[in-house]
Amino acid sequence: MFLSKYFLPIVKDTPKDAQIISHRLMLRSGMIKQDSAGIYSWLPLGQRVLKKISSIIVNEQNNAGAHEILMPTIQSAELWRESGRYDDYGLEMLRIKDRHDRDILYGPTNEEMITDIFRSHIKSYRGLPLNLYHIQWKFRDEIRPRFGVMRGREFLMKDAYSFDLDQNSSFTSYNKMFISYLKIFKKLGLTALPMEADTGPIGGDKSHEFIILADTGESKVFCDRKWLNLSVDIDNINYEKDLEQNVSLFTSLYAATDEKHDPTKIDPSNLIETRGIEVGHIFHFGTKYSESMGAKVTLPDGSLSPVFMGSYGIGVSRLVGAIIESSHDDAGIIWPETVAPFDLCIVNLAVGNELCDEMSLSVYNFLKGRNKEILYDDTKESAGSKLAKMDLIGIPFQIIIGPRLAKDNKYEIKNRSNGEKHTVDFNNLINLVNL
């Protein structure tokens, strides 16, 4: 991508009403534009990150045996009346009337709709277990939308729903999602602690929030100091073989949200009290929706039984803010390589200088041929402003080309995360950028 042809509306001044660093950096780097309270447009740089995060989630949910679908944002009130939640959900639900005066709503979550899909198609125990998920925009008319995409009104969520024959197999499905979440957050460069949590309007008897420790987090949390040194080879946990032992390893270490904190369960000398950002939340609610909405299957003996369910959410758009909260410095964002909007950038400090232009283009074309996503700064701005811009938008590697080094056929390469700079020739350059 040539920067001169790209839409990267950098904002020079620090936005006044943005209270936390991730919100300020997202506005300054032209990732999002606020349209109204808690509602944002995603501009090219932001949209790239959102897509990268989504695709990591899709991959790992598929590995865990879930199937991707896509449900609509608009739902009929009828389904919610069946479960009894139409009235219970309160002011957070955006209620709309269509031209026939029918009640519809912008979905805040999809338990009812998925239960309807299930009961329309699955009639026998042979169709179980099943896990379906989608990544779709949700709307919750939050009383206090704030911190940018962290607490929006319209936000992107991944929500998965599991269906099982009995409580035991339903807990296995829950555990698969538990492990899948640990794998996903690790791939996103985050350490998320699973914590016992309240179930709120979703309901049910068992629930964990996945929380990233951060001073700017909205939730007060408590955990055992041992979490800080816990080392588990999460990538290699096998969904079929190692489920139980790993889930118990994580759930045996104390971690709880404010509502669930019980000081008698932890030795005070090991207790850490801190703040965190909730990036995921999983629920086991058994037959709450299947009973009320008649999602039943026939058993081998011909009798009918309501299915056991769980639901599993990840705040996809919130994650963009959460990743920035946990990975930035004074100069700007530091993207983990897995979610960076571009893999590399090329900063040509002397556009118009024949040698610099030629070297920039040839390295650009070479890397493109290797399927790397590259942002090439071919604009005529000052060197200082170009370098500051690349630090701000946080691309993992900067290849800097200027007249002095170009004479010797050399490049400078900077690693954004540790700030290390090396002067290299072409071959070394290729090694340093992990090709």
CB of 284 to ligand 5CA, least distance (A): 11
Q: How is the beta sheet containing 421-424 ordered, strand by strand?
A: 374-377, 344-348, 397-401, 411-415, 421-424
Give the total of residues touching ligand 5CA (CB under 6 A).
Answer: 21
Give 290 or 360: the residue with its C-beta nearer to ligand 5CA.
290
CA distances 127 to 161, 162, 165, 174, 298, Å, are 14, 12, 9, 18, 10
Burial annotation 233-245 (CB, 10 A radius, 16+ → b, else e): eeeebeeeeebee
CB of 291 to ligand 5CA, least distance (A): 18
Q: Among 33, 51, 95, 151, which residue interacts with ligand 5CA (rule: CB under 6 A)?
A: 151
* DSSP state letters, 60-114: HHHHTT-EE----SEEEHHHHHHHTHHHHTGGGSEEEE-TT--EEEE-S--HHHH
Burial annotation 138-154 (CB, 10 A radius, 16+ → b, else e): bbbbeeebbbbbbbbbb
- By CB under 6 A, is residue 157 in contact with ligand 5CA? yes
Q: Residues 238 to 297: which contact ligand 5CA by CB under 6 A? A: 278-281, 283
The interface mask with ligand 5CA, positions 308-347, x = CB under 6 A, is ---xxx-x-xx-----------------------------
Q: Residues 69 to 128: which contact ligand 5CA by CB under 6 A? A: 109, 111
- By CB under 6 A, is residue 34 in contact with ligand 5CA? no
CB of 138 to ligand 5CA, least distance (A): 7
CA distances 190 to 80, 83, 140, 193, Å, are 35, 36, 26, 10
Give 312 or 342: the residue with its C-beta nearer to ligand 5CA.
312
- By CB under 6 A, is residue 159 in contact with ligand 5CA? yes
CB of 118 to ligand 5CA, least distance (A): 15
Using CB atoms, what's the residue nearest to ligand 5CA? 315
CB of 200 to ligand 5CA, least distance (A): 7
- By CB under 6 A, is residue 217 in contact with ligand 5CA? no
Do residues 245 and 291 make contact, with C-beta atoms less than 8 angstroms apart?
no
Distance CA 123, CA 133 (A): 20
Return residues touching ligand 5CA (CB under 6 A): 109, 111, 140, 142, 151-152, 155, 157, 159, 202, 278-281, 283, 311-313, 315, 317-318
